[in-house]
Amino acid sequence: MFPWNKQYPFNQQKMPDFFKSMNPNQVENYVQEVMGQVFGQDQSGGFPYQFSKNREEKQAPPSENWYEATDRIYFKIKIPAKIAGDVKIQHNSHQLTLENFPEKGERKTFQIPFLVRRKGTKATYQDEELELSFIKNEDLNVTEIHIPEGDIRS
């Protein structure tokens, strides 16, 4: 019904012979060359299960922990003592920002899992661990929306 065979990009009779004569490294180079032509040379490393040979080992990002109590939210993160004095902490009701972290001149932002008050946050630093204590803010401003009965259909 459809002429799929005519639209196939390779000569179908010679395709098995073409790949039989190539070793796996040649196939990999061919695929990388085609991917580089289609997506650009820098983009080919972003595909799953492909690792660049010249890529540097990156450090694992610092792990943060959120804990919930009845009226508070606690945030803990490891910060080396050598940069702890330079770290600036800022937050609003839904986002926490640490400036000069993980390195000087950098900024790391975290989403706070609950709505918190902007005042009353406490910070403690002990054993290379920063702990922040936020007061939960209950949002009591609730709006009720009615669906007009004429719009309800089955």
Domain boundaries, the chain: 7-46, 64-135
Amino acid at 120: G
Write down the pLDDT at residue 7: 52
Cis preceding linkage at 113, omega within 30: no
Is the domain 64-135 a CATH 2.60.40.790 member?
yes
Give the contacts of 7 (CB within 8 A, at least 6 positions apart).
Answer: none
Write down the pLDDT at residue 44: 46
Residue 17 confidence (pLDDT) above 80: no
pLDDT higher at 141 or 103: 103
pLDDT for 58-110, tens place per residue?
Answer: 555 567 799 999 999 999 999 999 999 999 999 999 999 999 999 999 999 99
